[in-house]
Amino acid sequence: MGRPEDTLAAARAGDARAFETLARTEEGALYGHVARILGPGADAEDVVQDALLSAWRSIGSFNASGGASFRAWLFRIARNRAIAVIRARRRKGEVPLEPDPEEGGSDWAEPVEGGPDLLTIAAGREAFAAVELALASVPPEQRDALLLRDVEGFSYDEIALITGSAAGTVRSRIHRARLAVRNALVTRGWTGSAG
Amino acid sequence: MHSHPEGDLSAYADESSAPERTAELTAHLAGCARCARRVDELRAVRGLVAAAPAPRPSRSLLPRLSRAPAWLRPARSLASVGAGTFLFLFLASAVLNSGSNLGGGTTAAERAAARGQLNLPAASDSARADAARATGATGPAVAAPAASQGTPGAVGNTPPGPRAVPAGEQVAAARREFGPPAWLFALLAMGSAGLALGLHRRLRRS
- Percent of chain A at pLDDT exceeding 90: 58
A48 interfacial to chain B (CB closer than 8 Å): yes
What digits encode the pLDDT tens for the residues A129-152? 888 988 998 999 999 999 999 999
Q: Which of A10, A76, A30, A191 is nearest to B41 (CA)?
A: A191
Residue B107: its pLDDT value, please? 54
Residues A52-71 have a mean pLDDT of: 86
Q: Render pLDDT for B5-50 as a digit per residue (tens, 0 to 9).
A: 988 999 999 999 999 999 999 999 999 999 999 999 999 899 989 9
**Amino acid B122: pLDDT:** 46
Answer yes or no: pTM beyond 0.95: no
**Gap between the Cα atoms of A130 and B6, Å rounded:** 24
CB contact under 8 A, B55 and A172: no
Share of chain B above pLDDT 90, in %: 33
Other C-beta atoms closer than 10 Å to the C-beta of A121 total 23
Is residue B128's pLDDT more than 90?
no
3-class secondary-structure state, position B121: coil
Give the residue among A37, A27, A59, A62 at the shortest CA–CA distance from A145.
A37
Closest chain B C-alpha to A22 CA, distance in angstroms: 10
Q: How far is Cα A12 from Cα B57, in angstroms, rounded to an integer?
A: 27
Q: What is the pLDDT at residue B70?
A: 73
A178 in reach of chain B (CB within 8 A)? yes
pLDDT tens readout for residues B141-167 = 444 444 444 444 444 455 555 556 666
* Eight-state DSSP code of residue B6: G
Quick: pLDDT tens for B61-79.
998 776 667 788 889 999 9
Q: Are A27 and B40 within 8 A, CB to CB?
A: no
Q: Identify the three-state secondary structure at position B44.
A: helix
Do you know the residue count of chain B?
206
Mean pLDDT of chain B: 74
Residue pair A145/A177 in contact by the 8 Å Cβ criterion: yes
Tell me the nearest-neighbour CA distance from B204 into chain A, angstroms. 16
Residues 56-75 of A with CB under 8 A from B: 56
Find, among B172, B182, B130, B50, the residue nearest to A29 by Cα: B50
Answer yes or no: is pLDDT of A7 > 60.
yes
pLDDT at A193: 55
pLDDT value at A124 more than 70:
no
CB-based contact B16 A135, cutoff 8 Å: no
Nearest CB to B65 within list A20, A30, A33: A20
| CB atoms closer than 10 angstroms to residue A43 | 16
Rounded-to-integer distance, Cα B206 and Cα B190, Å: 25
Average pLDDT, chain A: 85
- pLDDT range class, residue A190, cuts 50, 70, 90: confident
3-state secondary structure of B202: helix
List of residues 6+ apart from A16 with CB closer than 8 A: A56, B65, B66, B67
Q: Up-side HSE of residue B44: CA atoms within 13 Å toward CB?
A: 23
Specify whether the CB–CB gap between A148 and A177 falls below 8 A. Answer: no
The pLDDT-based confidence of A127 (bands split at 50, 70, 90) is confident
Residues 77-116 of A with CB under 8 A from B: 106, 108
Can you give chain A as a three-state secondary structure string? CCCHHHHHHHHHCCCHHHHHHHHHHHHHHHHHHHHHHHCCCHHHHHHHHHHHHHHHHCHHHCCHHHCCCHHHHHHHHHHHHHHHHHHHHHHCCCCCCCCCCCCCCCCCCCCCCCCCCHHHHHCCHHHHHHHHHHHHCCCHHHHHHHHHHHCCCCCHHHHHHHHCCCHHHHHHHHHHHHHHHHHHHHHCCCCCCCC
By CA distance, what is B50's nearest residue in A?
A151
CA distance B37 to chain A (A): 8
Residues A101/A172, Cβ–Cβ less than 8 Å: yes
User: What distance in Å separates residue B64's CA from the closest CA in chain A?
Assistant: 8
